[in-house]
A and B are shown apart, each in its own frame.
Chain A
């Protein structure tokens, strides 16, 4: 260890980091140097206050509806709690929002607003979709000779930005609240299940509600289940054959499907 006035680079950085993250780092004050008659605490506070302020700002940009529903004070308090507990591996300010939906699941705000984690998940899906790559749509010509057995073991790949969020809340309507005054927010939450598909059309992000059977099929396919198993499950649950075919046709026409590969034979 070096003397108190001659810390190593790492010691000095750890002390300021501790002050920023938890108000600790007592040795810091004797290492800081400001002009005479200057309040050094006020100068340290520039950095201490800057950290949560930047996280608040980044979250507000990614989660406008969560921010609108909570209001300025509650949202800032939530962001500050989140900033303190944030996973260390988040290195890019534009990506810190990735951890908010899960964080909300155990935060106190959900006592009154139980839909917030799902709404945050939807808003994060929209954010990621905006920045995602848009791959060329699936070219079906190599599959023209496939047998029905081949199609049964096909795995479907979707656009990297495609998102699907399902919850027992009217998610799409809740997301729209960022456009209105907070005092005008009035959303009926009772018995309003929603399954929301998020995808790109050009550079725009489309957010639309879909039927439960379509959502189930897409969720299964996204998780890697082969086509035969997905269609069998849909048939078991009473879905109409035409409706199921319609989902696939629609996804293809929207350019959401980017690949179709045969899974290995057992």
Chain B
């Protein structure tokens, strides 16, 4: 398996730098506010609506690529896949023609009861087989590949036998799916579960990464919490630099879902990401030229 460096990352759309489309910014976006190359939307907020949110999304889609990011596929649940959800997802995919479709490596309910959370999976061979088989079925149904995101974790399971990065890597191979690498989640989980975040990034196969997330966390004293309510931390920017060096310029976006700032502040975060991308790619170019010369 190829382990990438900058510029190697595979056949995923290079979307540039995006933000989450949130109601608080509808007016800015409709008025043509600049700064975002693409938009990510929470899938569930556009399923079952025919009102203004969908109209805004369709309007945005006319001028920008859009990624659908789900929170209730529940890919790791012991329950059967939810056919009604999949049908609604496919209808939205057909309508919006998103550049990317993603959800999380997690489970969100069991025995027919939804728990509305991204709950941690036991990282075992049994679970890997289970999730890989379901990802293949989802992809067959949608007729295209999806990305799975590493969640923020607050606990692990004694039953787990496979490190998460290895689990994701193997999952991507077996299911032929992509990965959404949330750099903030890597950092949050690394602190909460005491593992090495850079080693985690190094174990992720670059060619499988179709998208990256950046976000802010809150320090709760006993753990870091993935709140999406503040600016990206310096530690996460550093990890992002490392991820870009290894993976190349995968589509990146900033998630800011609570205490949402004005549009201009959000774009400042994107510009910082752009700046890091430019530094990394410039260094890569110089390095290659030196080797060739």
Contacts and interface: CB of A to CB of B under 8 A. Distances in A.
B159 A7 contact: yes
Interface stretch (B5-13, B114-122, B238-246): B114-122
A50 B223 CA distance: 14
B72 interface: yes
A152 B192 CA distance: 70
Specify the main secondary structure of chain A where it touches its partner. helix
Given A7-B159, A31-B157, A50-B117, A203 B51 contact: yes
A229 B55 CA distance: 39
A5 B160 CA distance: 10
A167 interface: no
A51 B48 contact: no
A17 B110 contact: yes
Given A9-B78, A93-B116, A17 B155 contact: no
B154 interface: yes
A93 B124 CA distance: 29
A13 interface: yes
A125 interface: no
Interface residues of B, number: 47
A39 B124 CA distance: 24
A217 interface: no
Contacts of A34: 155-156, 193
Given A90-B114, A92-B44, A5 B159 contact: yes
Nearest to A129: B51
A244 B222 CA distance: 66
Contacts of A203: 51-52, 55
Contact of B50 (A10, A91, A93, A133): A133
A53 to B, nearest CB: 10
A255 to B, nearest CB: 15
Interface string A20-56: 1100000000111111001110111011001100110
Interface of A: 5-10, 12-14, 16-17, 20-21, 30-35, 38-40, 42-44, 46-47, 50-51, 54-55, 88-95, 130-134, 161, 200, 203
10 shortest interchain CB distances as A-B pairs: A10-B78, A133-B50, A35-B194, A203-B52, A131-B49, A13-B110, A43-B155, A46-B154, A33-B156, A131-B51
Given A8-B78, A35-B193, A47-B154, 11 more contacts: A9-B76, A17-B110, A21-B113, A32-B156, A43-B192, A47-B117, A47-B155, A51-B115, A91-B84, A93-B116, A134-B51
